[in-house]
């Protein structure tokens, strides 16, 4: 039995390929059932996000590989195999475990350190679990993976800093204002980026929004869409005394806001701070505005510098996260090997104990008239003998399994105690 | 009881020192020294100091606020209490590394005071200290000092945060954990407000009650200093309440006010002690 991951992601396949192989939520139950019916597959989880489609299965060694996965994806999603087969990657055994841990820790994500992947994989696992497509191994593997994902995020600062222009803008706003609920944001121009920033602010609970645009009708349209208020372009200065955050992306060829206007507004504001986010090219806000007290201006360059610096900081954390993941992979594989050898240990124990018990009973019968105490002492002696004889061999078996030994001790024990058939039947039981 | 009291004072000193070392390490190494550790060290030190002060109060039969040593350790206690409230209730854990230098200075002064004059030195006016109003008077003054020191620390944080935001490059290291400007301004305003109220009470109590008992509070150095501090923080309070300046200038004024208030005391002492002698010498 081995764990196999076959899939494609943003690094191995372009979006045109990825979108053809993505599974929607409603398709997953049927896809899982079909994948589980593939030859040799005993457990299956399908992770499908906008950046990756991955099939996680446990199967008999060599029975499920690239060919079978491509066949399944082609049959289920439609595109011919040769359209995507070359983009598929495959990991087995310890590499598959490492890959899952890397994915869940977002080291394999398009935006390094994003936390959404953790909930996406969790959702994929729950779907498989609810449809009885996971067994003991996957339950253990995915639970460990979730723990590892959380640990990586808390032990490192990989997900700490914002890495998109709009989120960095909101981050600046959060450093100035304690609470957005009583605050008003004004958008100058109806560009896509300003709308995105506004969306971020709305997610953080901004109280009210005002839209100003050269074409007033456009401002009215956007205001209606976002539930804000539209104002005429020439009313911007008047609004400056009321609003707290200004997102500018008007596309005007000259500055829309000059220091004198802000200075006048600040008198009415009584020193309350105001934040300008200038994402227009050419700029809308005269940079000298930043010289005024309690006025903060951030341009596209400032925001992008922070984004780059934050990305660099996240990348610096990769080594730390990889070390942590490698340690966890080693721990997990050790535990799994131990977990696999435990049934053999139990059976060996039972067998030798049985011999001890029957031999002590025979001795008691042959010795004839013995008191209860003497009988018990003989039985205890046999027990002690069994434990003492087995102590060292079992310790070696466990440590060999945990440290990834070549399995010769396991084979030797099976051979010496005539447990080859037992082993096979136990593996059968596991499968059931 | 005395053994326990000494043990608890020493224990609290150890934990305050630990907080001080942690603060330095935090500013240098940032994440590796989590803010929660500082809060835990400070909390343990605070519990031990509280126990020590209770033990001392029970042993001497009077609130532990009258001798120089007691006054200083009580100011430390009030400051730590304010820090913990701000750190736990308002989630501004960064206040701890900011306030710890003040705590360390005050605690060192207490230790010096302890070794110079002895912790058990009784106050000269024993009859007076047993009166309840005297306890309230000194207690209110101690609490007001704690609030003012806290307003100084939050204003300092405001200035740092503001400078970093103006630089347009965003914050790095520990500065990323500085609270929002608005929150710092609110906390500073609140500390000044409560501090001024407590100071007013602390100054009014002896004026009203001592007068009733026929005692005359003389214009000693502490009284003059108290009045100067009252004027400084009263002006700051009005300035902030009416927003006569922007938040940044108010933060700068608060820091300046705290420095002036602190320097005013030795200056008054100098004027009262040396002034007459100088006048006499000048003829």
pLDDT in tens, A386-415: 899 889 888 888 888 877 777 788 888 888
Cβ A176–B181 below 8 Å, yes or no? yes
In a domain, A31, yes or no: yes
Closest CA to A276 of A288, A264, A268: A288
Q: Is the pLDDT of residue A63 over 90?
A: no
Model pTM score: 0.67
pLDDT reading at B41 higher than 50:
yes
Q: Which pLDDT value is given to residue A253?
A: 84
Q: Both tokens of residue A132?
A: 């009885």
* Residue B176 distance to chain A (closest CA, Å): 9
Q: Which of B161, B169, B250 sits opposite A175 (nearest CB)?
A: B161
Q: Which of A125, A143, A161 is a domain's end point? A: A161
**Is the pLDDT assigned to residue B216 strictly greater than 90?**
no
Question: B182 touching A, CB under 8 A?
Answer: yes
- A319 inside domain: no
pLDDT value at B131 more than 80: no
Residue B108, class by beta-carbon neighbours within 10 Å (0-12 exposed, 13-18 middle, 19+ buried)?
middle
| DSSP conformation class of B179 | P
Rounded mean pLDDT, A45-68: 89
Same domain, A115 and A148: yes
**Number of domains chain A is built from:** 3
- Residue contact A305–B179, C-beta within 8 A: no
pLDDT(B118) > 60: no
Q: Which of A153, A271, A307 to mutate to test the interface with B (most CBs of B within 10 A)?
A: A271
Note whether B194 and B214 are within 8 A (CB).
no
Whether A298 and A418 map to the same domain: the answer is no
Q: What is the tens place of the pLDDT at every residue in A196-239?
A: 778 888 888 898 999 998 888 888 988 888 888 999 988 999 99
Structure tokens at A353: 């104990």
Residue contact B248–A294, C-beta within 8 A: yes
Q: Is residue A46 part of a domain?
A: yes
Nearest alpha carbon to residue B269 among B229, B223, B215: B223
Q: Determine the average pLDDT of the residues in B179-189.
A: 91
| Residue B135, pLDDT above cutoff 80 | no
Identify whether A318 is part of a domain.
Answer: no
pLDDT of res. A328: 94
pLDDT surpasses 70 at A14: yes
Average pLDDT over residues B46-50: 93
* pLDDT value at A370 more than 80: yes
Predicted complex ipTM = 0.74
Please name the residue of chain B whose CA is at the shortest distance from the CA of residue A183: B182
pLDDT of amino acid A422: 54
Confidence of residue B105 (pLDDT cuts 50, 70, 90): confident
Q: How confident is the model at residue A296 (pLDDT cuts 50, 70, 90)?
A: very high
Confidence of residue A429 (pLDDT cuts 50, 70, 90): very low
In-domain check, residue A275 = yes
Winning range, highest mean pLDDT, from A14-18, A326-330, B269-273: A326-330
Question: Which burial class, exposed, middle or buried, applies to B57 when counting CB atoms under 10 A from its CB (0-12, 13-18, 19+)?
Answer: middle
- pLDDT of A218: 86
Q: What is the pLDDT of residue A369?
A: 84
Answer whether residue A340 shows pLDDT above 90.
no
With a cut of 90, say whether residue A123 has pLDDT above it: yes
From its phi and psi, is residue A113 left (phi > 0), alpha (psi between -120 and 50) or beta? left
CB-based burial label for A72 (10 Å; 0-12, 13-18, 19+): buried
Cβ partners under 8 Å of residue B204, min gap 6 = none
Both tokens of residue A416? Answer: 């010496």
Specify whether A55 is located in the same domain as A76: yes
Helix residue ranges, H only, chain B: 2-29, 35-60, 68-88, 95-117, 126-129, 132-166, 181-205, 211-212, 221-241, 247-282
Q: When comparing pLDDT for A261 and A426, which is higher?
A: A261
Q: What integer pLDDT is reported at residue A320 of this predicted model?
A: 92
The answer to whether the CB atoms of A177 and B178 lie below 8 A apart is: no
* Catalytic residue status for A50: yes
Name the band, by pLDDT with cuts 50, 70 and 90, for residue B69: confident
DSSP H or E stretch at residue A97: helix A93-104
* A372 has a pLDDT exceeding 60: yes
A55 and A154 inside one domain: yes
- Residue B32, pLDDT above cutoff 70: no
The answer, for B24 touching chain A at a CB cutoff of 8 Å, is no
- The answer to whether residue A71 sits within a structural domain is yes
Please give the residue that has the higher pLDDT: either B158 or A161. Answer: B158
Torsion A328-A334-A335-A340 (CA) sign: positive
pLDDT score at A432: 43
Q: Phi-psi bin for B91: left (phi > 0), alpha (psi -120 to 50), beta?
A: left
The answer to which of A36-40, A41-45, A93-97 has the lowest mean pLDDT is A36-40
**Of A262, A282, A309, at which residue does a domain stop?**
A309
State percent of chain A over pLDDT 70. Answer: 97
DSSP label of B122: P
A168: three-class secondary structure by DSSP: helix
Q: In this model, does residue B52 exceed pLDDT 70?
A: yes
So what's the pLDDT on residue A431? 43
Helix (H/G/I), strand (E/B), else coil: A248: strand
Measured on CA atoms in the order B159, B160, B165, B166, is the torsion positive or negative? Answer: positive
Is A320 a member of any domain? no
H-helix or E-strand spanning residue A134: none
pLDDT on residue B215:
65
Same domain for A46 and A173: no
Residues of A in contact with B169 (CB under 8 A): 302, 305-306, 309
Task: Indicate yes or no: CB of A172 within 8 angstroms of CB of B170.
Answer: yes
Q: Are residues A342 and A304 in the same domain?
A: no
**Gap between the Cα atoms of B86 and B196, Å rounded:** 18
Residues in chain A within 8 Å Cβ distance of B183: 178
Considering only the beta carbons, identify the residue of B161, B166, B246 that sits closest to A271: B246
Across residues A263-274, what is the average pLDDT?
Answer: 88
For A9: left if phi > 0, alpha if psi spans -120 to 50, otherwise beta; the answer is: beta
Residue A140: CATH number of its domain:
3.30.460.30
**Mean pLDDT value of segment A61-87:** 89
- The CATH number of residue A195's host domain is 3.40.50.720
Same domain, A260 and A182: yes
User: Mean pLDDT, chain A, as a whole number?
Assistant: 88
In chain B, where the domains are located: 1-119, 137-283
Name, in order, each residue with C-beta under 8 angstroms of A67's C-beta and a sequence gap of 6 or more.
none
Residues A302 and A189 occupy one common structural domain = yes
Alpha carbon of A227: minimum distance to chain B alpha carbons (Å): 26
Domain final residue pick, A309, A334, A355: A309
Residue A8 structural domain: 2-161
Same domain, A139 and A9: yes
Q: In A, what residues contact B, Cβ < 8 A? A: 157, 168, 171-172, 174-179, 266, 270-273, 290, 293-294, 296-299, 302, 305-306, 309
pLDDT digits (tens, 9 = 90+) for A125-165: 999 999 999 998 899 999 999 999 999 998 888 888 778 88
């Amino acid at each position: 039995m081995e764990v196999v991951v076959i899939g494609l992601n943003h690094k191995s396949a372009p979006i045109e390929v990825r979108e053809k192989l993505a599974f929607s939520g409603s398709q997953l139950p049927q896809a899982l059932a079909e994948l589980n019916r593939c030859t040799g597959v005993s457990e299956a989880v399908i992770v499908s996000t906008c950046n990756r489609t991955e099939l996680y299965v446990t199967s008999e060694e060599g029975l499920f590989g690239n060919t079978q996965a491509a066949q399944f994806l082609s049959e289920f999603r439609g595109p011919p195999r040769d359209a995507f087969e070359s983009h598929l990657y495959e990991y087995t055994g310890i590499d598959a475990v490492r890959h899952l841990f890397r994915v869940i820790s977002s080291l394999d994500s398009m935006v390094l350190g994003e936390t959404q992947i953790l909930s996406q994989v969790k959702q994929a696992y729950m779907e498989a679990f609810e449809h009885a497509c996971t067994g003991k191994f996957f339950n253990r593997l995915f639970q460990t993976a979730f723990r590892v994902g959380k640990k990586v995020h808390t032990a490192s600062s990989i997900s700490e800093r914002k890495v998109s222009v709009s989120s960095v803008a909101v981050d600046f706003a959060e450093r100035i204002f304690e609470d957005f609920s009583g605050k008003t944001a004004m958008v100058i121009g109806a560009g896509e980026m300003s709308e995105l920033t506004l969306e971020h602010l709305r997610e953080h609970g901004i109280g009210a929004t005002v839209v100003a645009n050269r074409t007033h009708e456009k401002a009215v349209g956007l205001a209606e869409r976002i539930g804000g208020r539209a104002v005429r372009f020439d009313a911007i200065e008047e609004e400056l005394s009321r609003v707290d955050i200004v997102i500018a992306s008007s596309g005007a060829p000259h500055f829309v806001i000059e220091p004198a206007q802000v200075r006048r507004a600040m008198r009415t504001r009584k020193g309350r701070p105001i934040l300008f986010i200038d994402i227009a090219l050419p700029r809308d806000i005269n940079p000298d505005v930043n010289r005024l007290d309690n006025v903060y201006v951030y341009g596209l360059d400032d925001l992008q510098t922070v984004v780059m610096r934050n990305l660099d900081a996240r990348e610096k954390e990769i080594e730390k996260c990889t070390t942590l993941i490698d340690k966890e992979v080693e721990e997990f594989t050790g535990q799994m090997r131990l977990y696999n050898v435990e049934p053999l240990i139990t059976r060996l124990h039972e067998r030798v104990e049985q011999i001890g018990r029957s031999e002590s009973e025979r001795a008691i019968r042959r010795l004839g008239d013995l008191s209860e105490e003497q009988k018990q002492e003989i039985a205890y002696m046999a027990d002690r003998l069994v434990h003492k004889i087995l102590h060292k061999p079992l310790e070696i078996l466990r440590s060999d399994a945990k440290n990834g030994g070549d399995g010769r001790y396991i084979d030797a024990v099976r051979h010496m105690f005539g447990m080859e058939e037992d082993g096979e039947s136990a593996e059968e039981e596991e499968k059931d | 009881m005395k053994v326990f009291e000494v043990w608890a004072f020493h224990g609290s000193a150890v934990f305050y020192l630990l907080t001080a070392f942690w603060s330095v390490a935090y500013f240098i190494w940032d994440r590796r020294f989590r803010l929660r550790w500082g809060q835990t060290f400070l909390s343990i030190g605070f519990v031990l100091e509280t126990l020590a002060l209770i033990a001392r109060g029970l042993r001497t039969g009077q609130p532990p606020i009258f001798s120089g040593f007691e006054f200083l350790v009580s100011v430390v206690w009030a400051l730590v209490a304010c820090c913990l409230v701000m750190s736990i209730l308002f989630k501004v854990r960064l206040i701890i590394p900011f306030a710890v230098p003040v705590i360390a200075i005050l605690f060192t002064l207490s230790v010096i005071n302890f070794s110079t004059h002895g912790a058990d030195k009784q106050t000269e006016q024993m009859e007076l200290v047993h009166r309840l109003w005297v306890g309230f008077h000194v207690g209110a003054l101690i609490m007001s000092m704690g609030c003012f020191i806290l307003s100084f620390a939050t204003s300092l944080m405001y200035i740092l945060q503001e400078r970093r935001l103006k630089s347009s490059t965003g914050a790095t290291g520990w500065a990323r954990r500085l609270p929002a400007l608005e929150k710092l301004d609110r906390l500073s305003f609140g500390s000044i407000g409560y501090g001024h109220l407590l100071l007013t009470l602390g100054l009014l109590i002896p004026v009203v009650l001592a007068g009733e008992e026929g005692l005359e509070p003389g214009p000693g150095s502490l009284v003059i200093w108290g009045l100067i501090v009252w004027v400084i923080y009263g002006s700051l309070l009005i300035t902030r309440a009416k927003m006569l300046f922007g938040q940044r200038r108010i933060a700068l004024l608060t820091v300046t006010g705290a420095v002036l208030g602190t320097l005013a005391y030795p200056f008054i002492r100098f004027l009262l002690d040396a002034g007459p002698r100088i006048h006499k010498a000048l003829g």
